[in-house]
Amino acid sequence: MRRCGATSRGGAHGTGRTVYLVDSSVWIEVFRKSTRFRMQDAGEIEEVATCLPIVQEVIQGFKDEAAFRIARDAMLSLPIVESPLSAGVFEEAVQLYRSARRIGLTVRSGVDCLIAACAIRHGLTVLHHDRDFDALAQVSPLQAREILP
């Protein structure tokens, strides 16, 4: 498992490049046989990272054992942020959820709050196809980019 070092708010390691934390909603589209999206459709993506909640969401859905192993190995070969997950990340996720609820936004997945907290901590932009991230970006410094607007 590769760990990804902390990134600055200005981009990856102060380079000004955008590093994407690619959400499971994107990976599921990529792995789908009849997809509406291909990763190259997102434009220039120089750096990609993941976190363990995304890895779990992606690989738990594979029925075929060989495909599961390939996907697991591919996901675990990416740089991983927040491994191991600390109590502080969970506390930040709780605060994101509560902040959204406070202004009347419904976040459907607590795991999305955890993913958003990982992204915020490392200055990553979440690449997604999940409305939760747009809601969380309204109540936090989260940078989010929808793949299929």
Q: What does the pLDDT average to over 123-149?
A: 94
CATH number assigned to the domain with residue range 2-146, chosen from the 4 options 3.40.50.1010, 3.40.50.300, 3.40.50.150, 3.50.50.60: 3.40.50.1010
> Contact at 8 Å (CB) between 23 and 130?
yes
Contacts of 113 (CB under 8 A, 6+ apart): 93, 94, 96, 97, 107, 132, 136
pTM of the complete model: 0.85
Q: What does the pLDDT average to over 23-45?
A: 73
Q: What is the pLDDT of residue 28?
A: 83
Which of 34-38, 49-53, 123-127 shows the lowest per-residue confidence on average (mean pLDDT)? 34-38
Domain boundaries along the sequence of the chain: 2-146
CA neighbor of 128 nearest in space, from 33, 30, 44, 32? 30
Q: What is the pLDDT of residue 1?
A: 47
Output the average pLDDT for the chain. Answer: 86
Q: What is the pLDDT of residue 32?
A: 73
Q: What is the pLDDT of residue 44?
A: 62
